[in-house]
Structure 1
Amino acid sequence: MVLNPNLKEHLAHFGLKVELLDKTDKSMVEMEIDMNQRIGEWATLTESGSKLTPVFGPGFTGLQSLGNTCYLNSVVQMLMSIPSIVKIYENAKDNEFEKIKFDSSFVDNLDFQLCRLTHGMISGKYSRKPAESNINELDADDSQPGIRPTIFKDIIGKSHPDFSGSQQQDAQMFFLHLLTVLERKSNLEFPGHCLQFEVEDRIECGATGRVKYINRIEDYLPFPIPMEASINQPDVDAYLARKKAGGHDFKEEIVRPVITFDSCVKTFSTEEVVLDFHSSALNGESTFAKKTMRLKTFPDYLFIQMKKFDADPVTHQPYKLNVEVLMPDEIDLSCLKAKGGLQPGEVELEDSPSSRENKNTIVPDDAIVSQLASMGFSFEGCKKAVIYTKNSGVEAAMNWVMEHMEDSDFNEPMKEEGDGSASNEFVPSEESIATVMSMGFSATQAKHVLKKTDGNVERAVEWIFSHPDEMNEANNPAPSKKPLTDGPSKYSLQACISHMGTSHLVGHYVCHIRKDDSQWVIFNDNKVALSENPPKTLAYLYLYKRI
C-alpha cells in the first residue's frame, strides 16, 4: 500500500475538494481492524483456539461441504438431533430401500434420500477415525469422511432460485424451505410436527377498542433484539472511543453490546402499532390498530431465531448485528401464553359485510405481489402465487411460482369465484376422466390434472408431462396431519447454530448440539469434536426441548 502525504493537493488539481466530500466507505485501517475482529469471531464460534477432541461413531457423523453448504449441514444436524424425526425415517428405511431394488430411478426420490441420509448419519458408517478409513484426502485435523449430501441438496433445492445454487444462504430461510418441501412433497409423516405451534394474533381497533383474534400455525419463534436495552453500553461506548483513537495499532478484543433474553421477550410481547388499518367497525375507514402475538400451544421442541440480520434503510445492504444475547440454558415462556380468544368485557371486531360474503376468497397482499413482479414474473402469475399460498410470504409464493411457471394458464387472469366461468368445486366429466385414464393414469391422477386445467383434456396432457412429480404426489396423497402437541412452557437448550460473517450472504455456519444432557459437540461440516465452550450467547438459531 502506497501512502500519499500530498493526496489533498493532488486531488485539488482535478477539482476534488476533500473537505467537501462525504465518506462513503471504510478506510484500509478500519477494514483491517474489522477483519481482525471477524477472525476473532471465527475463532470463538469454531473454537479453533482450543485443542478439541474429535469424536466418531453413531450420531457423530459430519456432512461434507459442497461449497457454501454449511447452512444446509447445520440445519440438518440440528433437526437430526430430534429423536422423533430420526424415528420417522429409520422406521421407513427398509420399505424405501426395497423400492430401489425394482426401480433404479427411485434414487432421485425424496423419501428414499431422506431415509438414506438419516441412516448414514446415525449408523456411524461414515464417521470413522482417519486411520480406519480409506479416504486419503482427509485434513490433518482429525476430520472424518462424513457424508456428501449432493443428491439431497439437489432434490431439496430443485427449482428454488437460491437453494439450487452454490451461494451462501440464510440458515433460517433454508429451515423454512426444507419444512415446506417435506410437508408438500414427502409421502412420509411430516417431521416438523414436533416443532409446530399455534399462534393467536390479537388485533384491537384503535378507534373503537373492538378486538379480533386470528389463529395460525408457525414453525419457529422470531425474537427481535432491542439494542437500546444493552446492559453494558458504557463499556461499549468506551471501547468505540478507544478504537477510534487507536487507529491502525488498535488491538483490543471487541466489546459487544450485551442483551438479556428477557429484554428480547419483553420487546416481542409489546404491542405493535399498525397504521392505516381499515376497520370494519368504521365501515372500512382508515385508523390504527394495536397488535400482539401470543402462543396458544407449546410444541415439544421450540425453534428460536434471534433476528440478527437486517438491511440498511438507505443502501439496502444486508448486515448483521454484532451483539451478544444472554440465552439461558432453561427458559419459561409462560408469559407468552395466549388467553384463548375473546375475553369478558371485550367486544368482537366483526368482519366487514364484503368479507363475510366472500369468506373463502383471499385478497392478495399487494406488497408480496409487487415484490414477486419486480423479479420479472407476470403480474397475474404473481397474483395467483400469493392467493394459492394464502399470503404466507414471499418465499412460499416464490416456491409456487417456480413450480407452476410452466403452466399454460400461468399468465392468464385468475377466474374469480361467482363470475360464472368456474367454480372452486370443479368436477371433471366422466368422459374426460376416462380419456386421461386411457393413457395409463389412475382415476385420482386424472381428476387431479383435469381440475388443474379446468377439464381441458389437451391442456391436461401438456400439464402431465411438465409436472411428473406432482402427478406422483396425486397418486400417493400425504398422510393426514396429527393434532399439534401442547404442554408446559418450560424448555432446556438442546442445540444452536452460529453464523460468522458480516451478513447472511457470506460467512460460515457451525452447529453445536448437546448430547446426553451434558456434553456439547460441535459439528463444523465434516469436523466433529467435543465442545469446550459452546458459543451460546453468539448463536443465531436455537433449538429448545420441553422439560
Structure 2
Amino acid sequence: MCGRYAPMSGVKGNGHAKTHYEETGYPLVVKLGTIADGDGDIYSYSEDAPVRDPLLGKHLAHFGLSIDKFTKTEKTTLELELDANLKHEFSTIQEEGASLKNVYGSGFTGLINLGSSCYINSVLQMLYNVPDFLKVYGDNSENLFNKISPLNSYEDFNCQLAKIVKSLQSGEYSKEGQKENGIRPLVFRRLAGRGHVEFSTAKQQDAEEYIRHLFDKIDNNVKGELNPVNSFRFYLVSRFVDELSGCVRYSKREETILALPVPLQECRDRFTYLDNYQIKKLDVDVEMDDSIDLTAFYSEGKIQPDEQPFPDVNPDVNQEIVLQLMDMGFTENASIKASIHTKNAGLESAANWILQHMDDADLNEPLPSQSTGAPTTESKGIPPKEVRNGSGQYKLCAFISHMGSSPHSGHYVAHVKRDDGFWYIFNDEKVAISQNPPKSLGYLYMYKRD
C-alpha cells in the first residue's frame, strides 16, 4: 500500500504519498474506496489534517476517473480510528489480557445477562456496597417477606429487590466448580420497569437514567424510617444575580447524582460534530482521583453579608401603570419591572425605562424574589427528604464503565472496591479480582464519605 502510515487506524502504509508530496508539492491524497456522493476520505499533507476537496471530480477526471461511478467500499481513516478506539475501550474495561482470578462466595455473586440487561446488573452490584441498602433489603428482608403472601411477592417491589440482595449475600449462587453461577433477575427487571416507556422493554438503556428510576421506585416503596436513597441525597444550590439590580437569590433542589457537564468553548474541527446532531459518546479518558475534597463547594444557600437579597414582595407595583404598558404592547414582566424601577413615577417614565433596557436578556423574565424561583418540596407542601451533612472528604469505592458508541447500546461493567482494599470486576455473571481497574473510563462514579 502506498498510503500514509497510521498505526492507530490500522492502516499500514509505506508513506509513498507523503514522499510524493515532498517531491512534487501536491498535498492532497484520496482513499478511492471511500468515494461516494461526490466526496471521500481526503487528506492534505500541507495542512496535516483531513479536508474537503470541492474539485474532487475534476481532479479524478485528470486521471481518467469518473466520480459518478464510485461507490463506497472501504472504511474511512476516521472510521478505522474509531473502530480501533472502541476495540481498545472494550479490552481495557474488561481487562482482557490480564490474568484475572475468579472469586466466589458471599458478596461475589454475579447477575446473569438476560439480554441487554447489563445496565441493571452493574447498577445493582454498585448499590450492593451501600450499607443502608444492605440493611433495608438484606438484614430486614425477613420482615419484608413476612408482610406479604408468597403469591403476592411476585408483584411486590420490596420483596423482589430483597430477594436479589439476599441471593447476592448468600453465596449459594457463587460456588467454584458449580455448573452455573449467577442470579437471573427476571422478575425484578419486569417489576422495576413496569409502566416505564423504556425500562419495560428488553432494549439496552442508560445506566444513569436507570439508577434515577430505581431511586424513585425505592422512595415510593420503602417501608420504615430508613431510606437507602438518603445515602445519595443532597441539595444542589443555585445562585442567581439580577443584572439590573444586583440583587441575589439562592434556590436549592434535591439531587441524588451530581452530573458534571463538559463546557464546549469552541468547535475547531469539523469532526467534532455530527451531521445528524445525534448525541454520541466521546472517546475521552478522564482521570478520576481516588480521593476528592468537596469542602470548598459547600454552601448553605443563604444570603452573604455583602449581598443584597431580593425583596420578599413587590408592594410598589402600580397595577394601573402595568396595565397601560401592556396595552402599549409590552410584556407583563417588563411592565412590572418598569413600575418598580421607576418607583411609579408615571407611564412616560416607565415606558422610557423599558425602551432603555430593550436589549437586556432578562427584560421579559419574571422578577425573581426570595420567595419565588424553582419550587422546592417545602413550597409544594411536601416534607423534605433526609439530606445528610458531613465531611467533604470522599473516597472512590465503585464505578460503572460503558463500552460502545452510545449509552443505549454496548455493554456496562461495574468495578467495586471492597473493605479488603482490592478492586473487583463484576461483568454480568463473571466476578474476579481486578488487576487494572480502568478508572479513567468510568461513566458513573460512586464516592463514599470518609
Q: TM-score range by the shorter chain?
A: 0.5 to 0.7
Counterpart in 1 of 2:172?
A: 125
Aligned-pair distance for 1:8?
Answer: 7.9
Residue 508 in 1 paired to residue 411 in 2?
A: yes
Distance in 2 (alpha carbons) for counterparts of 1:212 and 1:6? 60
Matches within 5 A, 1:216-365: 216-225=253-262, 315-350=276-311
| SS of residue in 2 equivalent to 1:43 | helix
Counterpart in 2 of 1:193?
A: 230
Amino acid at match of 1:126: Y
Distance in 2 (alpha carbons) for counterparts of 1:530 and 1:7? 44
1:186-207 CA distance string (max 9 Å, x none): 3354211111112221111112
The 8 Å contact of residues 74 and 497 in structure 1, kept in 2 or not, is answered as yes
Distance in 2 (alpha carbons) for counterparts of 1:98 and 1:174? 28
The 8 Å contact of residues 199 and 216 in structure 1, kept in 2 or not, is answered as yes
Amino acid at match of 1:331: I
Aligned-pair distance for 1:160?
Answer: 0.7
Structure 1: gaps (5+ residues): 136-144, 230-236, 238-243, 245-310, 357-389, 393-423, 426-479
Residue 493 in 1 paired to residue 391 in 2?
A: no
Distance in 2 (alpha carbons) for counterparts of 1:540 and 1:214? 28
Counterpart in 2 of 1:147?
A: 183
Distance in 2 (alpha carbons) for counterparts of 1:530 and 1:228? 41
The 8 Å contact of residues 489 and 546 in structure 1, kept in 2 or not, is answered as yes
| SS of residue in 1 equivalent to 2:129 | coil
Describe the shift of the 1:227–1:522 C-alpha distance in structure 2 as closer, same or farther (beyond 3 A).
Answer: farther
TM-score (norm 1): 0.55
Aligned-pair distance for 1:99?
Answer: 4.2
TM-score (norm 2): 0.66
2:242 maps to which of 188, 197, 205:
205
| SS of residue in 2 equivalent to 1:33 | helix
Percent pairwise identity: 35
Amino acid at match of 2:244: A
The 8 Å contact of residues 34 and 76 in structure 2, kept in 1 or not, is answered as no
Describe the shift of the 1:199–1:7 C-alpha distance in structure 2 as closer, same or farther (beyond 3 A).
Answer: closer
Distance in 2 (alpha carbons) for counterparts of 1:123 and 1:157? 25
1:334-364 CA distance string (max 9 Å, x none): 121115401113111246659x9xxxxxxxx
Amino acid at match of 1:120: S
| SS of residue in 2 equivalent to 1:509 | strand
Describe the shift of the 1:313–1:97 C-alpha distance in structure 2 as closer, same or farther (beyond 3 A).
Answer: same
Counterpart in 2 of 1:112?
A: 159
The 8 Å contact of residues 137 and 161 in structure 2, kept in 1 or not, is answered as yes
Amino acid at match of 1:508: H
The 8 Å contact of residues 99 and 106 in structure 1, kept in 2 or not, is answered as no
Distance in 1 (alpha carbons) for counterparts of 2:154 and 2:111? 19
Aligned-pair distance for 1:177?
Answer: 0.6
Aligned-pair distance for 1:17?
Answer: 8.7
Distance in 1 (alpha carbons) for counterparts of 2:198 and 2:168? 25
Aligned-pair distance for 1:228?
Answer: 7.1
Describe the shift of the 1:204–1:103 C-alpha distance in structure 2 as closer, same or farther (beyond 3 A).
Answer: same
The 8 Å contact of residues 85 and 283 in structure 2, kept in 1 or not, is answered as no
- Number of residue pairs matched by the alignment: 331
2:108 maps to which of 34, 37, 60:
60
Counterpart in 2 of 1:85?
A: 133
The 8 Å contact of residues 318 and 504 in structure 1, kept in 2 or not, is answered as no
Aligned-pair distance for 1:328?
Answer: 0.8
Counterpart in 2 of 1:179?
A: 215
Describe the shift of the 1:173–1:482 C-alpha distance in structure 2 as closer, same or farther (beyond 3 A).
Answer: closer
The 8 Å contact of residues 34 and 75 in structure 2, kept in 1 or not, is answered as no
The 8 Å contact of residues 45 and 500 in structure 1, kept in 2 or not, is answered as yes
Aligned-pair distance for 1:166?
Answer: 1.4
1:540 maps to which of 401, 426, 443:
443
The 8 Å contact of residues 312 and 318 in structure 1, kept in 2 or not, is answered as no
1:244-265 CA distance string (max 9 Å, x none): 9xxxxxxxxxxxxxxxxxxxxx
1:235-292 CA distance string (max 9 Å, x none): xx9xxxxxx9xxxxxxxxxxxxxxxxxxxxxxxxxxxxxxxxxxxxxxxxxxxxxxxx
2:82 maps to which of 4, 10, 34:
34
1:168 maps to which of 184, 204, 209:
204
Distance in 2 (alpha carbons) for counterparts of 1:201 and 1:26? 52
Counterpart in 2 of 1:277?
A: none
Aligned-pair distance for 1:134?
Answer: 4.5
| SS of residue in 2 equivalent to 1:516 | coil
The 8 Å contact of residues 252 and 301 in structure 2, kept in 1 or not, is answered as no
Counterpart in 1 of 2:122?
A: 74
Distance in 2 (alpha carbons) for counterparts of 1:198 and 1:10? 53
Aligned-pair distance for 1:35?
Answer: 1.7
The 8 Å contact of residues 8 and 17 in structure 1, kept in 2 or not, is answered as no
1:359-403 CA distance string (max 9 Å, x none): xxxxxxxxxxxxxxxxxxxxxxxxxxxxxxx989xxxxxxxxxxx
| SS of residue in 1 equivalent to 2:183 | coil
Counterpart in 1 of 2:64?
A: none
The 8 Å contact of residues 522 and 531 in structure 1, kept in 2 or not, is answered as yes
Measured on the aligned residues, the alpha-carbon RMSD in Å equals 3.7
Distance in 2 (alpha carbons) for counterparts of 1:65 and 1:196? 29
Aligned-pair distance for 1:90?
Answer: 2.0
Q: Higher relative contact order by CA 8 Å / sep ≥ 6: 1 or 2?
A: 1
Q: For the pair shown, which has the larger CA radius of gyration, 1 or 2?
A: 2
Describe the shift of the 1:151–1:333 C-alpha distance in structure 2 as closer, same or farther (beyond 3 A).
Answer: same
Amino acid at match of 1:187: K
The 8 Å contact of residues 219 and 227 in structure 2, kept in 1 or not, is answered as yes
Describe the shift of the 1:8–1:517 C-alpha distance in structure 2 as closer, same or farther (beyond 3 A).
Answer: closer
| SS of residue in 1 equivalent to 2:92 | helix
Describe the shift of the 1:349–1:106 C-alpha distance in structure 2 as closer, same or farther (beyond 3 A).
Answer: same
Aligned-pair distance for 1:27?
Answer: 5.4
| SS of residue in 1 equivalent to 2:250 | strand
Structure having the larger proportion of residues in helix: 1
Moved over 6 A (4+): 4-12
Counterpart in 1 of 2:324?
A: none
Distance in 1 (alpha carbons) for counterparts of 2:307 and 2:151? 62
